[in-house]
Amino acid sequence: MPLTAEPLTDEATGTFRIGDGPTVRRLGFGAMCLTGPGIWGEPEDPDECRRVLRRAVELGVNLIDTANSYGPKVSERLIAEALHPYPDDLVIATKGGLTRSGPGQWSRNGRPEHLREACEDSLQRLRLDRIELYQLHAPDEKVPYEESLGALIELRDEGKIAHIGLSNVSVAQLQQGLAMTEIVTVQNRYNLSDRASEDVLDACTERGIGFIPWFPLATGALAQPGGPLDEVAQAHDATPSQIALAWLLAHSPIMLPIPGTSKVAHLEDNIAAAQVRLDDDEVRALEEAAG
């Protein structure tokens, strides 16, 4: 029988502690898709998006990742509309450092004054006094990295954010950040078919830093009928996407996948992936097939 969603447990997903702060289950929710096409404007069905958020929490998700640039502003607003006042164990992570000019258009802005404004706007939209995890969305080559990160350190010292994360960084940029302050998470593109950030994952593993893979469900040609991912999926009565998530959870204990969707049915499919237990041979076969 196909897998059906069951409430997440610490045992099913494993857990990860955000710095010296809260502990979260390792299967979270990414809120980028709660917008219009091109991650721009309002979603086609805002009510369904709010239902997705409520259902995620009902199913035990206690890490939701978003950004001020999703919409822009739309994703954060919907999260507050759907979930505020928030459950005590819910961690909302957001980001600043990208600006938008239209659908699919992203520009980097790491100026300290912009990051401060972005953070304060996020606090207001999310109806929070403090953001538990605030991430620099991407380094800006036009702004010294230490100035961008310095703005987040100031915001943390002022009590507006609790912990600092980085996104879209190299090992060198992570090391530069660590020389300045504690970094608790890194969010880079990473999935079964795209492991270009494996060196960053290794660096995070060495230091106990959480790794949040964005675009976690991409599988490329691996999911073709009769292929290795399809074979493992059939063996578990699962979908290729569920196996891709199960592989991420099995690949590293610091992995924090955040699959996103705007549909409740798809959310439930993703949550059901926590029930899949891949053995070592299956994990190795998938990795070898991915190259």
| Burial of 47: CB neighbours in 10 Å, binned 0-12, 13-18, 19+ | exposed
Helix (H, G, I), strand (E, B) or coil at 94: strand
Query: What residues are annotated to the active site?
Result: 70
How far is the CA of 20 from the CAs of 61, 91, 128, 164, in angstroms? 20, 13, 19, 12
How many Å apart are CA 209 and CA 223, to the nearest integer? 30
Contact (Cβ atoms closer than 8 angstroms) between residue 213 and residue 191: yes
Largest CA-CA distance found in the chain, in angstroms, rounded:
55
Phi and psi (nearest 5°) for 30? -100, 125
Rounded to 5°, angle at Cα 215 from 58 and 5 = 30
Helix (H, G, I), strand (E, B) or coil at 1: coil
DSSP per-residue letters across 127-186: T-SSEEEEEE-S--TTS-HHHHHHHHHHHHHTTSEEEEEEES--HHHHHHHHHHS---EE
Beta-strand pair 131-136/91-96? parallel
**Among 121, 7, 9, 133, residue whose Cα is nearest residue 64:** 133
Contact (Cβ atoms closer than 8 angstroms) between residue 202 and residue 195: no
